[in-house]
A and B are shown apart, each in its own frame.
Chain A
Amino acid sequence: MGEPHAVQPDQKVIEDLMAFGAHDFKKCFQCATCSAVCTLSNNDFAFPRKQMIAAQWGLKDKLMGDPGPWLCFYCGECSKNCPRKANPGETMMALRRYLTSAYDWTGLSRLMYSSAFWEIGILALVSAIVVALFTLPQSFGFGLLSRSGAAPLHTVMLDKFAPVGMVDMGDRIMALVLSFFLLTNAARMFYYLTRDQKIPARLYITQLPSLILHAATQKRWNGCKDSEATKNWIRHLLLVTGYVTMFTLVVVFLPWFQVNDSSIHWTSFLGYYATTVLVGATVWMLIDRIRQHGEMYQFSHLSDWLFPILLFLTAVTGIGMHLLRVNDLPMATYVMYTVHMAIAVPMLVVEVPFGKWAHLLYRPLAIYVAAVRDKAAQCSSLEVAPAGPVPA
């Protein structure tokens, strides 16, 4: 048990949590059924009971220093068994939203999570900028369309409409920008998770493989023992492979991926894989969410809808563009290309560092820090163990 200290409840945090989708957490009476039934919760990180009381009291510091919410994969067993119907599973989901905004130093995340107007507004704004970049005439100073002369309308010449070199550069700038925000936010998260902790530096190195392993496989999900867990995990893993393939094609291999004319290139086959998986998985997830299938889909926040919808639209417009291009329909291809970009770019720029997608880094980071803290606790308990017999 920790030292007794005065707790300062923070009404603002409580209101925030409610705006972020936590509805019933005030009903919790701290029975701890939830932590007991949770198969992921263990001796060192027992959750979600502790998060429930931290939420009830609005203990911001405690919450920001807690990897717990990210260790949960929302099987919903806690909510099913909670005797107060306090929905601890949904509270953990809301906490992830809340923490995403709390770790974001720009304040944009908070703005978008707590207001549908701003969320849609900012996505629309980025969209509009993308459309402008492609369509506004040169007289405005940009307008990729006419930079290399007018794109031909008798046959597809994508390079004329959107010169691959420029798009490639744009891609990389975008990747840099979003990485900058995501990494600085993650650094803040790392700071909160590790401050006040006595952790020997070497543990950060020895536990590094867990960061990579969990980022790559999300295998922790399979530790959930509900009937949907394996399905959910595999489906998510497929989605990730599709997403990573697509992201790599666009950011690293664009000069090969963006084919100029109506020919089929080897990169197209990777694209087929990625888009099939993306469309399949997002549609399946959306159906589950619409039908409220399983505990995980009982409650949906706007951010939960935008995530799969944007991904789905990106994939579908990508497919559309491919079909139009190989059928040599120039104008339609250029239009579809613009639409595709107008969806994909805001999705990445907005959702990755400031939205639900931040979990792609937050989750493995939290699992990693949890493992480090766990190891550190083991080491320190060894140190205080009595060393041999007491001299007489």
Chain B
Amino acid sequence: MDNGNLASNNGRSLLVIGGGIAGLTAALEAAEAGCSAIIIEKSPSLGGRAIAFNQYFPKLCPPTCGFEINFRRIKNNPRITVLTQAELEEITGSAGDYEATVKLSPRFVTNSCTVCGACAEACPAERPDGFNYNLSKTKAAYLPHKMAFPAQYVIDRNACKKDCSACVDACRYGAINLEQQVERKKFHVAAVVLATGWAPYDASKITNLGFGCYPNVVTNVLLERMAAVNGPTAGKILRPSDGKEPATVAFVQCAGSRDENHLPYCSSVCCSASLKHSTYIHNLYPDAQVTIFYIDTRTPGFLQDFYAKVATNGHLKMIKGKVGKVEEDPETHDLIVTAEEVLTGTKLTQKFSMVVLAAGIVPQTDGIPLKVARDQFGFAVNGTAGIFAAGCAKRPEEVSATVRDATGAALKALQCAVRSAHHG
């Protein structure tokens, strides 16, 4: 791996925007085929959304599985340049011959960091922990998460106390430099892979489902963090209102997705994700009653087997019928869910100790200074020569599909680079 000092500039480089599973895959596949790749990642560490999960469907293995191998491959590959806290500022030129200007925000912690954590211990300030979807806090001097790559602390200067330099004094390695400034780097690249991924839909916009009003209504991404051992509750799924174990949990599928008032498209992964979440709950509390309210269960291909396997659990009930209303019993903070059970045609009002909204995927293609075609929902559409989208920036898809997609995008980008090298 190269830290940007040796950025290959021979005209056969690719620029990969986004360091999630899609970006990592595209960069690795291209680099292992002999092309240089520069990954620019907005946040301080790689891995994107998927690294924050507790487990992956369908195999239910922890994210360490895939990501550790990928991080090792990156470390060992001199053709890959990783830039974190980096964003594309400007790009000029055309397919085969782009000049990209990348803006690097200061990390305030240098390569000398040994991840000892003395800075965080000394730090008096706190900030909401975005990795845990703000369910917990970190110090202003923080490690993004235990598996963070690069393994290096960061300082959130916006959260710092005025005139404080406690961390500088605490660090024995002199790794902290609060004077770091914004930097800009220019790269000559042949093609761009757009892999900026997704963000969860803002569930508070779905006013009838009570997220943001009732503490025990949570979203699927929050549940992932609760279930994760390195998460805010150390792997316990507990009711936010009173910290109790939930006895009954309702999942509301298509919370925002397939809805003309919110996201008109199917987010494609949330059915499998909720099935996976039911296994989290049953691993912790085997007797908990889990009910999944769905319009249709969409688990295509091999995910159908995953569905069939999970559905054998007698404590999992699948009810066809979308939840129309979530209300709260103000005394107990239990939730009252209303739906129509379509298969029997009866209306149902039932109490649950917790409700999980299976919120959908919103593509993150806004605000990138790149001329890329997008569909009416904001998903990137291939069609601009030299720019290839991959992963959830292109369509909602699970990790394995993302990997296949990114491999394809890498090949397309490679072809572009090879063509330009022949001509150039």
Interface residues of A (CB under 8 A from B): 1, 29-38, 41-44, 46, 49-50, 81-85
The 0/1 profile, CB within 8 Å of A marked 1, for residues 311-334 of chain B is 000000000111111000000000
Do the beta carbons of A36 and B322 come within 8 Å of each other? yes
> With a CB–CB cut-off of 8 A, which chain A residues contact B348?
43
**Chain A neighbourhood of B344, CB < 8 A:** 1
What distance in Å separates the Cβ of B255 from its nearest Cβ neighbour in chain A? Answer: 11
Given contacts A1-B343, A38-B324, A46-B346, 20 further A-B contacts (CB under 8 A): A1-B344, A29-B258, A29-B295, A31-B258, A31-B321, A32-B324, A33-B324, A34-B324, A35-B340, A36-B321, A36-B325, A36-B338, A36-B340, A41-B340, A43-B346, A49-B342, A50-B345, A81-B324, A82-B260, A85-B261
Q: What residue in chain A is nearest B346 (Cβ atoms)? A: A43
| Complex CA distance for A41 and B341, rounded to whole angstroms | 13
Please report B residues at the A interface, Cβ cutoff 8 Å: 208, 254, 258-262, 295, 320-325, 338-348
Q: Are B325 and A32 in contact (CB under 8 A)?
A: no
Taking CB atoms, residues of chain B closer than 8 Å to A43 are: 346-348
B208 near A32: Cβ-Cβ < 8 Å: no
User: Which 9 A/B pairs are nearest by Cβ-Cβ distance?
Assistant: A36-B324, A83-B259, A35-B340, A37-B324, A32-B340, A31-B322, A32-B321, A31-B295, A46-B347
Closest residue to A49 on the B side, CB-wise? Answer: B340
Partner of A83, one of B260, B321, B339: B260
> Residue of B at shortest CB range from A41?
B347
CA distance A83 to B340 in the complex (A): 15
Select from chain A the residue with minimum beta-carbon distance to B263: A83
Complex alpha-carbon distance, A31 and B342, angstroms:
8
State whether A46 and B345 are in contact (beta carbons under 8 Å apart), knowing that A29-B295, A35-B340, A85-B260 are contacts in the complex: yes
Q: By the criterion CB–CB under 8 Å, are A30 and B342 in contact?
A: yes
Q: Whole-angstrom distance between the alpha carbons of A197 and B325 in the complex?
A: 32
Most B CB within 10 A of own CB, among A36, A38, A43, A44: A36
Once bound together, how far apart are the Cα atoms of A43 and B324, in whole Å? 14
The residue on B at minimum CB distance from A86 is B260
A30→B343 CA distance, assembly (Å): 11
Assess whether A46 is in contact with B295, with CB atoms less than 8 Å apart: no
Tell me which residues across on chain B come within 8 A of A34, comparing CB atoms: 324
Q: Is there contact, CB below 8 Å, between A31 and B208? A: no
Contact of A37 among B258, B325, B342 (CB under 8 A): B325
**Nearest-Cβ distance from residue A84 to partner chain B, whole angstroms:** 6
Q: Given the complex of chains A and B, what is the CA–CA distance between A37 and B206 in angstroms?
A: 13
A221 to chain B, nearest CB (A): 19
Q: Are A84 and B208 in contact (CB under 8 A)?
A: no
Which residue, of A31, A44, A49, has the highest number of chain B Cβ atoms within 10 A? A31
Shortest A340–chain B CB gap in Å is 48
Residues in chain B near residue A33, CB distance under 8 A: 322-324
**Alpha-carbon separation in the docked complex, A41 to B348 (Å):** 11
- Whether the pair A46, B340 counts as a contact (CB closer than 8 A) is yes
Bound form: Cα–Cα A298–B208 in Å: 22
Q: Which residues of A have CB within 8 Å of B324?
A: 32-38, 81
Which one, A32, A38, A42, contacts B322 given CB within 8 A? Answer: A32
Given known A49-B342, A83-B254, A83-B258, contact A35–B325 (CB-CB < 8 A): no
Residues of chain A with a CB closer than 8 A to B259's CB: 83
A residues less than 8 Å from B340 (CB atoms): 32, 35-36, 41, 46, 49
B residues less than 8 Å from A30 (CB atoms): 295, 342
Contacts of A46 in B (CB 8 A): 340, 345-347
Shortest distance from the beta carbon of A205 to any chain B beta carbon, whole Å: 28
**17 residue pairs from A and B, CB less than 8 Å apart:** A1-B344, A30-B295, A30-B342, A31-B321, A32-B321, A36-B321, A36-B322, A36-B324, A36-B340, A37-B208, A43-B347, A46-B345, A81-B261, A83-B259, A83-B261, A83-B262, A85-B261
Min CB–CB distance A378 → chain B (angstroms): 14
Q: B262: which A residues are within 8 A, CB to CB?
A: 83
Please report the C-alpha to C-alpha distance between residue A297 and residue B345 in the assembled complex, in whole angstroms: 29
Q: Is the CB of B323 within 8 A of A36?
A: yes
Q: How far is the CA of A35 from the CA of B321 in the complex (A)?
A: 9
Which residues does chain A contribute within 8 Å of B295, judged by CB atoms?
29-31
A82: chain B residues within 8 A (beta carbon): 260
Q: Report A-chain residues with C-beta under 8 Å of the C-beta of B342.
A: 30, 32, 49
A81 and B347 in contact, given A32-B342, A36-B322 (Cβ under 8 angstroms):
no
CA distance A29 to B296 in the complex (A): 10
The smallest C-beta distance from B110 to any residue of chain A, in angstroms, reads 51
For A29, the closest partner residue in chain B by CB is: B295
Q: Is the CB of B260 within 8 A of A84?
A: yes
Also in contact, A35 and B347, with CB within 8 A (given A81-B324, A84-B260): yes
Closest to A83 in B: B259
CA distance A81 to B295 in the complex (A): 15
Distance in angstroms between the alpha carbons of A84 and B257 in the assembled complex: 11
| Residues of chain B lying within 8 A (CB to CB) of residue A50 | 345
List residues of chain A with CB within 8 A of the CB of B320: 32
- In the docked arrangement, what's the CA distance between A37 and B348, Å? 11
